[in-house]
A and B are shown apart, each in its own frame.
Chain A
C-alpha cells in the first residue's frame, strides 16, 4: 500500500498542507505528479499534464464539459480531487484515437456535424464512450436521457444523438 504510506506521512500535523505524490495512468501512460489536496482532476490534467482537450465549463458539475473516463467510468473531473484518483486509469479526449485513426465516435461527430463551437465536444464524446460501455441506452430517448449531463449551448443535440447512434451501430 505505497499510496497509503505516502498519505499517512502527510497526516502528521503539518501546519501548511503539502503536496501529495500521486500516480495516474493517463491515456495509457504512467504519469507521476505532486498535487495539492485541493487540485481537481480537471486542473491536474490541464495545468499539470498540459492535456487541455478536457474543458472547464461551469466547474460545478453542471455542464459536463470536463467529462473524462476513470477506470472506464465517465465522471465530472471538475468535482474529483486528483489525490482521490491516485492509481487510477484516466482516459481523456486525447487518448481516444488509435495509431492516428479517430475513435468511431470522433468520426461520427464529424460525419454528423455534431457541434458548432466545439467547447462541449470533448466532454460529449468522452461521455458517449462511457454511455456505450454502460450498454443501457438503446433508443434515442434513452440516449438523450443518459447524455443529459452534457450541455451544448449551441444546441447541436439532434446531431449529437445521430452521431452516437451511428457509433452504436
Chain B
C-alpha cells in the first residue's frame, strides 16, 4: 500500500469540496473494497477523504410510500431493517447472499454500488488490464475467464460487476441520489452502472467529484412473489457465477408485473425490460418462463471457460421465476434449491 494523506469530511458539501480540490483523492466509507485494492496497488490515492461519519445513515419513508436509504447505511443494517424485511425482502435476501457477516457490518450502501470487479487480472498489476490501465489490453478474453461476463461484453473488457445488492436494486427500479460540484441529481439504477465499451476504466456514469448520498426505493416492493437465487462455486461467501433477482405481481395465475435482473453475467446488473414485458399478461407457467429466459439471453456470448453460464442462467431464470410465482423464495441459509 502506498503512503497517503487522510482527512475527514465535516459535512457533505465539505466532502465534495475536498474531492474536487484533489484529482487523486478518493472517498472512503466502509473501505472493504478500497483498502484491499490499495493493498494490491490497484488503487493508489494520494489522499483519503473519510466520509464514514457523515449523517447519511438512516432509512426514511418517502412521501410516495417508498424508502430513502442513506449512502452510509451498513449492508447488514439494511438487510435487517424492519421496513426492508417487510416491504422489500428481495433486497434483504440479495444483501444476505453477498460477502460475509463481518464485511456486511463494514460495507456501506454507496460503497456496495461503487465496488469494483473481482476479475483476477484487474487485481494483478503484473498483467495487462484495460480497466486498470486503459489501452494495455484485456488478459481475460484469451485467459482464465470462467467467472466472466456473457452479456454486454466488448473487445476491451469482459469483467462482471460483483454486487448482489445492486441486482435487487435494479429489479426494484431504485434510484441513486448523488451530489457534486454542479448540484444534486438522481440516476435510475439501470443507468448507474455502464457497459465496458471502449472505456472499461469507467464502471459507472457518476461524474468526477460526485458522491452517492442515498438510494431510493419506489413503493412497489414485490414482497409476496420474489426470489434471489445465487449460484456459485461454494455454498456461501463466494461471488455469483450467475444470480437472478425475480419479482412478480400475480392476478390469479396471470402475471400482472414482472421484474428480472441478473448478476455475475455482465459489467452491470443485467435487467432486461424486454423479457419483463414478455412475461406481462402471460400465465405464470414454465413455457412463459422459458420464453423470457431465452429472450433475456438472446445475445449471450460465451468465452473459452464460461459458456456454461449461458445454460446455467437459462435454467436459473426459469427456476427463479418458478420460486417467485410459488411464493417460495430461495433461503439464504438452507441452500437446497427447490
Contact = CB atoms under 8 A, between A and B. Distances in A.
Nearest to B336: A141
Interface string A81-117: 1011000000000000000000000000000000000
A67 B103 CA distance: 10
The number of chain A residues touching the other chain, given as a range, is: 35 or more
Contacts of A76: 32, 102-103, 106
Interface string A139-165: 101101111111000000000000000
A130 B101 contact: yes
Interface string A33-49: 00011101000000000
B10 A4 contact: yes
| Max count, chain A CB within 10 A of own CB: residue among B4, B6, B28, B101 | B101
Contacts, number: 106
Interface in B263-283: none
B23 to A, nearest CB: 15
Interface in B74-133: 76, 80, 99-103, 105-106
A83 B6 CA distance: 8
B5 A37 contact: yes
| Max count, chain A CB within 10 A of own CB: residue among B8, B31, B32, B80 | B8
Contacts of A40: 35
Contacts of A131: 101
Given A59-B39, A81-B31, A141 B334 contact: yes
Contacts of B28: 81, 84
B7 A17 contact: no
A10 B48 CA distance: 12
Interface on chain A toward B: helix, strand, loop, or mixed SS? mixed
Contacts of B304: none
B204 interface: no
A76 B76 CA distance: 14
Given A84-B50, A144-B333, A37 B6 contact: yes
Contacts of B333: 139, 141-142, 144-146
Interface in B1-43: 1-8, 10, 28, 31-32, 35-36, 38-39
B52 interface: yes
B5 A7 contact: no
Given A81-B31, A148-B237, A17 B6 contact: yes
Interface string A106-139: 0000000000000000000001001100101001
Contact of A74 (B6, B31, B102, B332): B102
B105 A74 contact: yes
Contacts of A59: 39
Given A10-B6, A145-B332, A79 B32 contact: yes
B8 A149 contact: no
8 closest residue pairs by CB, A with B: A149-B100, A37-B6, A148-B236, A11-B7, A145-B333, A148-B237, A141-B333, A142-B333
13 contacts: A7-B8, A8-B8, A10-B5, A14-B5, A38-B4, A74-B101, A79-B103, A80-B35, A81-B31, A81-B48, A84-B50, A134-B101, A139-B333
